[in-house]
Structure 1
Amino acid sequence: MIKPKTTKRDTRKELESLVDQFIREKGEIQHIDMGESGLIDGKYNTSHIGFGEPKQDRTPLNHVVAAIQQRKKPTPPPRPAPRRPKKKIIYDDFGDPLRWVWEE
């Protein structure tokens, strides 16, 4: 039997019931200031913030891209499908069929 997927609504209901159960059992929710959990030695962790550095110049590599494009082999044109021989009928002088001939 396949277990049905849990929906967002089910997940929300489960979380709400867990929070309500925690509060009913005399649990206390503490207020924590924004960013406080990210403090390292009393300071904010700024190692992941990359906007404080000046913009770096990029090295143009147009000549490298051009060299790579030149080295690429051109794709060969598609080969035509091999022609199949056709059956042709030979008629006599009176228009009656005589025989079949295969033509390429």
Structure 2
Amino acid sequence: MTKPAKTKAETRQEIESLVDRFIREKGEIKQVKMGESGLQDGKYNTSHVGFGEPRKERTPLDHVVAALEQRKANKRAPDPKTKHTVKRRKKVIYDDFGEPLRWVWEE
């Protein structure tokens, strides 16, 4: 049996109790301006942004895509010689009271 997931209310209550405990233990919460926490020396940290290099030209691969699409189309085409066989299934025969009597094969 698995443990039930926490509700949003339970999660909020847990976070609130952690903050209260932090404050009671003489912790201090500093107020900062909106957006200030993402800044380093008054500027956004751009060292992790991957747009520093100029855009590279892409290699056209239209002929490769066309070849792949052609192979897919060949696989999808059904073979006219192949005959589709009907799979047999087991079916349960029940009596008047809903009890299973026997299994029969059905096509």
Q: TM-score range by the shorter chain?
A: 0.5 to 0.7
1:56 aligns with 2:56: yes
Q: How many angstroms does 1:77 deviate by?
A: 5.2
Q: State the superposition RMSD in angstroms.
A: 3.2
CA distance in 2, matches of 1:31, 1:59: 51
Q: How many angstroms does 1:76 deviate by?
A: 1.0
Match of 2:78 in 1: 76
SS at match of 1:34: helix
Match of 2:18 in 1: 18
Q: How many angstroms does 1:57 deviate by?
A: 1.6
Q: What is the aligned length?
A: 77
Structure 2: gaps spanning 5 or more residues: 87-107
Moved segments of 4+, more than 4 Å: 30-33
Q: TM-score, normalised by structure 1?
A: 0.52
Structure 1: gaps spanning 5 or more residues: 83-104
CA distance in 2, matches of 1:5, 1:61: 48
Q: Identity of counterpart residues, as a percentage?
A: 55
Q: How many angstroms does 1:71 deviate by?
A: 3.4
Q: What whole-Å deviation, never above 9, does each CA across 1:73-102 have from its counterpart, x for those lacking one?
A: 3431574567xxxxxxxxxxxxxxxxxxxx
The structure whose Rg is larger is: 1
Q: How many angstroms does 1:12 deviate by?
A: 1.1
Q: TM-score, normalised by structure 2?
A: 0.51
